[in-house]
Amino acid sequence: MARVTIREIARRAGVSKGAVSYALNGQPGVSEETRARVLKVAEELEWVPNPVARQLSVARSETFGLILARPAQTLSEEPFYMAFVGGLEGVLSERSYALALRTVPGSEEELAAYRKWSREKRVDGVVVVDIKADDPRIPLLKELGLPTVLVGDPSLSEGLTCVWTDSTTAMGEAVDHVAELGHRHVARVAGPPDHGHVWIRDQAFAAATRRTGLTAEVVHTDFSGDQGASATRQLMSSATPPTAIIYDNDLMAVAGLSTLGNLGVRCPDEVTLIAWDDSALCRITHPTLTAMSHDVVGYGAEVATRLFDLLEGAEPAAHLYSTPKLQTRQSSGPPRR
């Protein structure tokens, strides 16, 4: 079956190509009568628009881009991204937009990929994750003029649109929870310090422990399960080990829990564990993990919506999506005296 084009519709409806285009796009310039006739013919012929041809005219790609600068293997271990991508996707598909997803090994390649996308007009906008302090991507994207939504804190966004979750408040809540249970010495197993949200949580952790009068220590990792485990081992081997540990993601918390098991330390009797980024993992461990929970799918959807707003002319702005809420489970409890 040959492809149906508007030229064919025009021929059958006895009008010009231009009139068909107006009719199908709901634009003025044709009578209601003609419009109805054209629509009927289009329906009969099962016409569908050719997005490539449209793109060539209107110079839009109807695609958003997302680049993840991590090796594929480690991505698979972080539940966050798949959920986030799912959230983006839900909003995009409503408007027939596609998501171009790329994984690149490092920062250089990521910058090059934005340049390429911009020049080839492959994407109408991009979503940028894992914002770092003085992130080189921000000036580049400004220079390219590519509509951008940053997933991260307004303090790092340098005037670009961003969507953020309030880690500071959430961290306060987590530390309060630990303090109220009666703990006096708390540790934080954090991600890499050059990640913006890690840095922000570092600050919030310092402030909250100061406020509640807890003694505190921080170990930085690369977010992997392996390093979560070794950080936990390191903390517990100290002369004065913490009685509560707050992890920066759920994978490390699970690893930490196992490490405690290895060491013969009981949770929550001897040590309280709290995870960040609640996922199914937190519910299947034994004991189940108390976590700072937020809706990652919804987060992705919010980001996509803001990117559409930007295309429609919205001014850059910072949008608070939500504040992670403490989800209390079995892994947190009062310290054993």
- Whichever of 33 and 315 has its CB closer to DNA, that residue is 33
Q: Kindly state the smallest distance separating residue 12's Cβ from DNA, in Å.
A: 12
Is residue 73 involved in binding DNA (CB under 7 A)? Answer: no
Q: Is residue 215 close enough to count as binding DNA by CB under 7 A?
A: no
Confirm or reject binding of residue 276 to a second copy (CB under 8 A): no
Interacting residues with a second copy between 111 and 170 (CB under 8 A)? 116, 119-122
- 16 is a contact residue toward DNA (CB under 7 A): yes
The option from DNA, a second copy, none interacting with 122 (CB < 5 to 8 A, set by class) reads: a second copy
257 binds a second copy (CB under 8 A): yes
Q: Which is nearer to DNA, 57 or 240 (CB)?
A: 57
SS (H, E, C) the chain: CCCCCHHHHHHHHCCCHHHHHHHHCCCCCCCHHHHHHHHHHHHHCCCCCCHHHHHHHHCCCCEEEEEECCCHHHHHHCHHHHHHHHHHHHHHHHCCCEEEEEECCCHHHHHHHHHHHHHHCCCCEEEECCCECCCCHHHHHHHHCCCEEEECCHHHCCCCEEEEECHHHHHHHHHHHHHHCCCCEEEEEECCCCEHHHHHHHHHHHHHHHHHCCEEEEEECCCCHHHHHHHHHHHHCCCCCCCEEEECCHHHHHHHHHHHHHHCCCCCCCCEEEEECCCHHHHHCCCCCEEEECCHHHHHHHHHHHHHHHHCCCCCCEEEEECCEEECCCCCCCCCC
Q: Toward a second copy, which CB reaches closer, 93 or 238?
A: 93
Please tell me whether residue 281 binds a second copy under the rule CB under 8 A.
Answer: yes
Which range in 85-93, 126-134, 166-174, 317-325 contacts a second copy by CB under 8 A? 85-93
Residue ranges in contact with a second copy by CB under 8 A: 46, 48-53, 55-56, 61, 63, 71-87, 89-90, 93, 98-104, 116, 119-122, 224-226, 228-229, 251, 254-255, 257-262, 279-281, 283-286, 296-297, 300
Q: Which residues lie near DNA (CB under 7 A)?
A: 3-7, 14-19, 21-22, 24-25, 27-31, 33-34, 47, 49-50, 53-54, 56-59
